[in-house]
Amino acid sequence: MNGNFATLSGRFFRAVAPELEHSALSGSIRAGRYSRPDQPTLYLSSSEAGVRAAMIAHSKPGEHRRVLAFDVLAASLFDLRASHALEEVRRKAGDPFDDWQGAVARGSEPTSWRVRDWIESIGAKGLIDPSRKEPGLWHLVLFSWNVAGSPTVR
């Protein structure tokens, strides 16, 4: 297996609108950095501070979200925090940190969607994504969960 893979377990956090709390484990409901609009993806943060940092770019003024906690057990995660892993993914698929929202607004496919495709093609069930808003914080992005052979989230 690729040396850029990680395994982890612990408590992770996700912000959701109160009316969507019942479906918080269904994953994203719109396009994201690593997900096309029709691609189930579960975005979590390693801390509540990580959720706040992520919400800087993903919430609108006056929008209320609740932070929920989940227990995760996951293997086969591509770890973008490691410089060698980031270099490899940039060589193979492009820069995961390019402006994905700008690309979508222009009608282009974001590089980060191709990054996900490549990471999945080498067997990853998700990835660890360093925060660009708050260095030292990081997020967990799951491509599949709660099905055989995939991470579990409770």
Tell me the one-letter amino acid at 135. P
pTM of the model: 0.92
Sign of the torsion formed by the C-alpha atoms of 148, 149, 150 and 154? positive
Residue 58's alpha-carbon distances to 54, 77, 84, in angstroms, are: 7, 23, 28
Report pLDDT for 58: 54
Report pLDDT for 62: 62
pLDDT above 70 covers a percentage of the chain that reads: 94
CB 93 within 8 A of CB 118: yes
Alpha-carbon distance 77 to 125, whole Å?
A: 6
Report pLDDT for 81: 96
Q: Tokens 């690729």 map to which residue?
A: 2
pLDDT in tens, 41-75: 999 999 999 998 876 555 566 667 899 999 999 99
| Residues 6+ positions from 106 with CB-CB distance below 8 Å | none
pLDDT in tens, 19-43: 999 999 999 888 999 999 999 999 9
